[in-house]
Structures are given as structure tokens and as C-alpha cells.
Chains A and B, each alone.
Chain A
Amino acid sequence: MKRLLLRLVLVLALPALLVVVWWLASDSSTDVFWPPLRTILRTFPDVWTADRLRDDVLPSIWRLTAGYALAAGAGVAVGTVIGSYRRVRAVCEPVLEFLRAVPPPVLIPVIMLFAGIGDTMKVTVIASGCVWPILLNTVEGVRAVDPVMLETARSYGITGQSRLRNLVLRSASPQIFAGLRQALSIGIILMVISEMFAASNGIGFTIVQFQRSFAVPDMWTGILVLGLLGFLLSVLFQLVERRVLAWYHGLRASARRSP
């Protein structure tokens, strides 16, 4: 009980302290760019109404989900193929290294040429940025499947679909998830940036509108919303990851106990 209490204090103390410091330090602020936290929080419910959530937040989340899902599907599929064949890997490696190194946001102008400024453009931008970490991590994971496990599967006649589903993808899943994790933060960045570039709704669009009209407290609430969204998605991701990779964390923990 006492330990639990101590933990709770440790978890909450610093965030509380930071909020208090922000509150006090900004309380009498007259600087237009650093409005008092009180003002920001008071503005929050006025700005982020149910209508706004429906018209701006939902479209953003929809674009992110669509682009991310496309990237995950394509990245895992292509990555599995490339990772399974040494020669294919050797052929693709330099090109992939180059494509991965291109900072994803610079693709926005190019994709705008093809896809205009609608949702297609945003989904494509998000997908084309997210796909690389997923793809390259899948290649690494598939390549590193344990040879003993592969021989086991062969000797027991586990081939084709079953081999892919029960062995290769499962064995690569820790790496695939590492890629998905990187891709998530890239996806959020691209969601915001592509909406800043050209859009008529979305979180990124809204924040830039506030900034352009010097509605500084409103802009601050937008930053808070983005922060909150990033945090929530990361929590959601961790929940899924813990479930899917429960075996992996257990395996690692047991390996650490008996080296």
C-alpha cells in the first residue's frame, strides 16, 4: 500500500509541479505569445467544441489511419518478399537506403502534383512517409528468422501460408513493431504538415489559421490538442504492442533472469 502510494507520488509529482510552475510563471504574463495558462485553459472548451472535433479532428484521424494502414500493409508485404530472398535484397538495398533517407515532408510538393490537394494527397503523403521504417524493419526481421526454427518447420512439413503466418511473420513481429512505432510518429508529423500545406480542415490547418490570425491562446490550445493526440496514440500503440508481443517480453525477461 505504501509502495503504491510512493509510486503514485513519483508518477504525478513532476507533471503537477510543471503545470503549477507554468501556471504561476505565466499568470501575470502580458507577452502576447505567452498567454497565461489560465487563459489557455479557459479558451480550450470554446475552441474545441463537438462541431470542431467532428469537422477538424476526425478528418485528421481518418487520414492518419488510412495512410498508416496502407503503409503497414504494403511495408510488411514488400518487406517480407525482400527479406526472404537474398538476391532480391541485394538488388533493392541501395535504392531502399536512398528512398529511406529522403526526408518524408519533401515528398509533399511532388505528391501534390499528382494527387492535388484533397484527402488523396494527404493519405498518400502519410503512407509514403510511413512505409520505409516498416518495410526496412520487416526486411531485417524476416532475414533474422532463426535457422533452427526454419529447419524445424521444414522437417515437420510446415510450408507456404502456414510457415509465413506461424513462423516468419511471428518471428519478425518484434522488429515489425519497432518499425510501426517509428512510422507512427512520422505519420503524425506528416498529417500535420500536409494539412498546413493545403487543406480546408484538419488539426494542422486549424492551428495555422489561429497562428495567421494571431489568435494566440487558441493556437496554444491547438498545440495542446496535438500533444494530447500524440500521447493518446502512443498509449494505444503500447497497449496493442504489449498484447501482441507478450511472448517476446516474457522471453526477454526469462532470458535476463537466467543468462
Chain B
Amino acid sequence: MHALLGVSGLKKVYEGSGRRVEAVRDLTFTVEAGELVCLVGPSGCGKTTLLKCMGGLLTPTAGEVHLAGRKVSGPPPGMAFVFQEYGRSLFPWMRVADNVELPLKQKGLTKARRRELVTDALDSVDLAEAAGAYPWQLSGGMQQRVAIARALAYEPEVLLMDEPFAAVDAQTRADLEDLVRRLWRERGITILFVTHDIDEAVYLGERVIVLSASPTVVQEQLKVDLPDERDQLHTRVAPRFAELRTHVYEQIQAAKRGVVRDAAVTKSDTPPLH
């Protein structure tokens, strides 16, 4: 059996105005169909760069990304992206339902099918009643749910989520985490979830991939053997959860010490302007 999503030898170097920044050095890992994998690493370790390479938004300097056996050389139709900046990812001039529907129009689906998918997606994120609102009339958490609904309606094989809950408050964040778990279990989609929050990674993931500091390599891969049924109240106080998060925490600390040894590298998570 081969993996749904494969990253092999990925390397990304930014070159601009005399500066050369190696954001990702050499990354290799796979994601099986139906898995929920969390990528976690110290801030500034090139997580966003990696995800953008996988989503076909950036061309890697070396190495390859494969989706379902095909090489990714541009945004593949089987992938949907949820960005951290929900406020800038939804189109403010379109109502919520239109935002969700727009990518489907491009796919050439019939009107009836589009409506069905939009309603279904908004229902699963509990925003059916907000279909006629503009995104800026909603709270931050609701906006991110719209972005998730847009991704669901797109019916992707893989859902890429780039620190999607970094900009919302703690309570909303917990709700959104449970939403992602529920959607994953209900729909059986493959999710790759990038975060800098260790608790979030362990709570959400079936597997956690710990990245090193920039220039990035895989520090460790960890199977999360918590039960399928998780909830904020009990899972987070379970002894196994504490063990796992301590382990990941230590790995990240080790990764950070790597930064100190190699002081020449940049700490920026976002690519330099070019």
C-alpha cells in the first residue's frame, strides 16, 4: 500500500536581494489515507513554507510532493487549504454561502449539486443560519468555521490546515478543535494540521510529526495512542496525554537547542519579501 500524501527530500531556499534563507532543509514523511496528522515545531521553523509547498502554492527548491501517486506541481484539485488569516482568506464582498460556493462553480458542478454541498457543509459547521451574512458580520471563530465549510464543500482528498486557530480566543479554539475531530471522524477525510501548540497537536492528532528548528528536518514522528473518543475535559487530564505532551515538549526543546548551536539561521516563519 502506498501513502496518499508523500513528501520526499523537500528543500526550500528563498533567494532575494543578496540574502539566502534556507527555510526547509530536507523533509521526508508520508500521510496515509484517512489519517489526521499534526505537524508541530518551534515557531519560525518553516511550517508555513512546508504547507505551501505541499499545497502547490510554492515550488520547492528540491524534492517532491506526491498526492495519490501524482506529483504536485501546482494547486492540485484534491486539496483544500485552510489559512491562519481567516479574515483575509474569505472574500468580504461575498456572503457566506457565496464564499463557500465559489470554488464549486469553478469545478463546473451543477447548481443543484452546488447548493446541496453548500448547505451540507454549512450544516456540519453549525452555520446554516449564517449563510446570508457577510463574513465581517461574524466573529473570528465563526469566520474560521466558514473557511472550514468552504474546504469541506470542495470535497478534497486532503485538507491542509495552517495554524487555523492561532488567532482565536481559547474557548473558541477548544470548540474548533472538537469540530475538526468530529468532521474527521464523520467524513473520513485526510487532514494535515499544522500548529505550534503542543497540546493542540497531541489532542487532535493520530500521529504527531515534530519538526526541528529552521533549516527544518523531521525531528521525530510519534503515534498518539489516545482513544478515538476524545473530549476537552477528560482527554487533557489523562495521564497518557500528559506523558505524550511532555515527550513532544522535550523534543521541541531539543529542536530549539539546535537553533542555538546554529545561530546563523533566520527565525522568520514567513518567507522574506521578494
Q: Cβ of A250 and Cβ of B106 under 8 Å apart?
A: no
**Digit string of A147-168 for contact with B (CB within 8 Å is 1, else 0)?**
0110110111111001000110
**Bound complex: CA A166 to CA B55 (Å):** 22
Within 8 Å CB of B92, what residues of A?
247-248, 251
- Give chain A nearest CB distance to B185 CB in angstroms: 25
**Bound complex: CA A200 to CA B92 (Å):** 49
Tell whether A128 is near chain B: CB-to-CB under 8 Å.
Answer: no
Taking residues whose C-beta sits less than 8 angstroms from the other chain, chain A's interface range is: 20 to 34
Q: Cβ of B89 and Cβ of A156 under 8 Å apart?
A: no
User: Which residue on chain B has the smallest CB distance to residue A174?
Assistant: B93
Tell whether A254 is near chain B: CB-to-CB under 8 Å.
Answer: yes
**Bound complex: CA A146 to CA B87 (Å):** 11
A contacts with B: majority SS: helix
**Digit string of B67-80 for contact with A (CB within 8 Å is 1, else 0)?**
00000000101011
**Bound complex: CA A152 to CA B106 (Å):** 13
Within 8 Å CB of A173, what residues of B?
93
Within 8 Å CB of B3, what residues of A?
none
User: Which residue on chain B has the smallest CB distance to residue A254?
Assistant: B136
Q: Cβ of B137 and Cβ of A148 under 8 Å apart?
A: no
Q: Cβ of B88 and Cβ of A155 under 8 Å apart?
A: no
Tell whether A89 is near chain B: CB-to-CB under 8 Å.
Answer: no
Tell whether B154 is near chain A: CB-to-CB under 8 Å.
Answer: yes
Interface residues of A in 127-146 (CB under 8 A from B): 146
Tell whether B22 is near chain A: CB-to-CB under 8 Å.
Answer: no
Beyond known contacts A146-B88, A152-B89, A166-B91: 10 more, CB 8 A cutoff? A148-B88, A154-B75, A155-B56, A155-B57, A155-B81, A159-B106, A162-B102, A170-B91, A247-B136, A255-B136
Q: Cβ of B91 and Cβ of A250 under 8 Å apart?
A: no
Q: Cβ of B93 and Cβ of A157 under 8 Å apart?
A: no
Within 8 Å CB of A247, what residues of B?
92-94, 134, 136
- Give chain A nearest CB distance to B108 CB in angstroms: 10
How many residue-residue contacts, CB under 8 A, span A and B?
70
Q: Cβ of A149 and Cβ of B88 under 8 Å apart?
A: yes
Interface residues of B in 132-168 (CB under 8 A from A): 134, 136-137, 150, 154
- Identify which of A152, A157, A166, A248 gathers the most chain B CB atoms within 10 Å of its CB: A152
7 A-B residue pairings within 8 Å (CB atoms): A149-B91, A151-B83, A166-B91, A171-B91, A247-B93, A247-B136, A250-B136
- Give chain A nearest CB distance to B270 CB in angstroms: 10
- Identify which of B52, B94, B107, B136 gathers the most chain A CB atoms within 10 Å of its CB: B136
Known pairs A155-B57, A156-B154; A148 contacts B106 (CB<8 A)? no
**Bound complex: CA A247 to CA B134 (Å):** 8
* B interface, CB within 8 angstroms of A: 52, 55-57, 75, 77, 79-81, 83, 85, 88-89, 91-94, 102-103, 105-107, 134, 136-137, 150, 154
Within 8 Å CB of A162, what residues of B?
102, 105-106
Q: Cβ of A157 and Cβ of B107 under 8 Å apart?
A: yes
- Give chain B nearest CB distance to A135 CB in angstroms: 22
* A interface, CB within 8 angstroms of B: 146, 148-149, 151-152, 154-159, 162, 166-167, 170-171, 173, 247-248, 250-251, 254-255
Within 8 Å CB of B79, what residues of A?
155
User: Which residue on chain A has the smallest CB distance to residue B140?
Assistant: A258
**Bound complex: CA A236 to CA B164 (Å):** 43
- Give chain A nearest CB distance to B130 CB in angstroms: 15
Within 8 Å CB of B136, what residues of A?
247, 250-251, 254-255
Q: Cβ of A148 and Cβ of B56 under 8 Å apart?
A: no
Known pairs A157-B103, A158-B102; A166 contacts B94 (CB<8 A)? yes
Known pairs A250-B137, A251-B92; A156 contacts B105 (CB<8 A)? no
- Give chain B nearest CB distance to A119 CB in angstroms: 37
Within 8 Å CB of A251, what residues of B?
92, 134, 136
Known pairs A250-B134, A250-B137; A148 contacts B83 (CB<8 A)? yes
Within 8 Å CB of B89, what residues of A?
148-149, 152
- Identify which of B55, B56, B89 gathers the most chain A CB atoms within 10 Å of its CB: B89
**Bound complex: CA A162 to CA B94 (Å):** 14
Q: Cβ of A148 and Cβ of B85 under 8 Å apart?
A: yes
A149, A156, A170: the one within 8 Å of B103 (CB)? A156
Known pairs A247-B92, A251-B92, A254-B137; A166 contacts B102 (CB<8 A)? yes
B57, B93, B106, B154: the one within 8 Å of A170 (CB)? B93
**Bound complex: CA A51 to CA B175 (Å):** 71
- Give chain B nearest CB distance to A157 CB in angstroms: 5
**Bound complex: CA A23 to CA B154 (Å):** 68
